[in-house]
Amino acid sequence: RPAPPFRPSPAPPSARRRPSPPTSANDLASRAIYVYSFMALLGFGAGCFIVYSFIQTYRAQRRLAWLDCLLWVFCGVQLLLLLLSLHMVAHRPRYMQSTALGCAALSFAANVASLCGLLVLVLMAFVLTLDPPSSAPLRNPRVCAALVVLTSVLVSLLLAGLRGLQAGGDCVMDPYQDGVSYAATKLCLAVLAPYILLAGLLISGCIRQWRSEGRFLSGSEEGPVFLTVAACMFLCQLFYGVALVRGALLVQSRMEKAFLTVAECVLFSGSSLGLLAVLLLHRPSRESLQGAVRQLRDCCRRPGRATLTNPCSLDRTAGIGQSFYSPAAPTEI
């Protein structure tokens, strides 16, 4: 009888080939990073142009209105947040490798910058709705700077204490392993509390307008810009805060980690949207942008004619700084 065919024995379970990990989570995180990279590039360019325009205006006129100074500080803080988000663009869908102290410092810096931006928005709401006199304490730059920085640092120190020092390796700005306490505290103190104060100021401004039959938001041109920026940032930060609480409650999986990456992209996208809103809706900023585009178009139409009549040889502040604010600024600093 012929010998039976040779059949190899099945491999033990430990030696069997494991299925490849799912790639849908990585695809979701990668697409979110690509979209955010484009948004961050637009926001960074808009923020740099706004800061440059403000600098040129200050050099030309040596004075700025108080609301314009608050708006300049807000744009600078949002630029800092965009710079702090570079670790996410460079390393995701994987996480940046860092020590426990370095990751805690990154989280602390991001919390301080985010809170400073929100408190500057609250100060803008106070000035727009209540219109305090120039001698008021909250019109003093030193008092406002001390109040904003001190409050932001104290709240960030409380969040850092709840966060603790994580093990070295993957650096997560807001770790979901800390439970609901950290996520809920950040949602309440770093998102809901500033916006509740801001909403209270807006409601008081509406009541003041209704009683005195005055103009809402002091009749200022910064009113629509302020409302647009505040609404965009509130939606983005609320989405991230709710996603962080949700991630702390659920069992972590690849898809949940990818969703938290998407939420982090939405959080930092609020800074880009705010900068773009300031550039496009704020009239002096929009006029400065139109002047720069007009000069660039004239330069491209007349190549090789670098004479005094060439628009490219005009003063650097023309069209960028001089049309930014009228000489009769309401308040000097």
Q: Which residues of 246-276 are buried (b: 16+ CB within 10 A; e: fewer)?
A: bbbeeeeebebbbbbbbbbbbbbbbbbbbbb
In a domain, 333, yes or no: no
Q: Has residue 255 got a pLDDT over 50?
A: yes
In a domain, 10, yes or no: no
In a domain, 8, yes or no: no
Q: Has residue 276 got a pLDDT over 80?
A: yes
Question: What is the pTM for the complete model shown?
Answer: 0.79
What DSSP state is assigned to residue 1?
Answer: -
pLDDT in tens, 285-330: 888 888 888 888 888 876 555 444 454 544 444 444 444 344 444 4
pLDDT in tens, 258-267: 888 899 999 9
- The per-residue pLDDT for 229 is 92
pLDDT in tens, 88-105: 887 776 777 878 888 888
Domain with 59 in it: 25-295
In a domain, 6, yes or no: no
Q: Has residue 59 got a pLDDT over 50?
A: yes
- The per-residue pLDDT for 10 is 55
- The per-residue pLDDT for 149 is 94
In a domain, 330, yes or no: no
| 57-66, 208-217, 222-231, 314-323 — most confident range | 222-231
CATH number at residue 121: 1.20.1070.10
Averaged pLDDT, 179-198: 90
| 15-29, 77-91, 174-188, 288-302 — most confident range | 77-91
In one letter, which amino acid is 16?
R
Contacts of 331 (CB under 8 A, 6+ apart): 65, 66, 134, 139
Secondary structure (DSSP) of 255-306: HHHHHHHHHHHHHHHHHHHHHHHHHHHSHHHHHHHHHHHHHHHHHHHSTT--
Total tally of structural domains belonging to the chain: 1
Averaged pLDDT, 57-86: 84
- The per-residue pLDDT for 197 is 93
In a domain, 3, yes or no: no
Tell me how many degrees the CA angle 159-160-166 measures, rounded to the nearest 5: 125
In a domain, 328, yes or no: no
In a domain, 301, yes or no: no
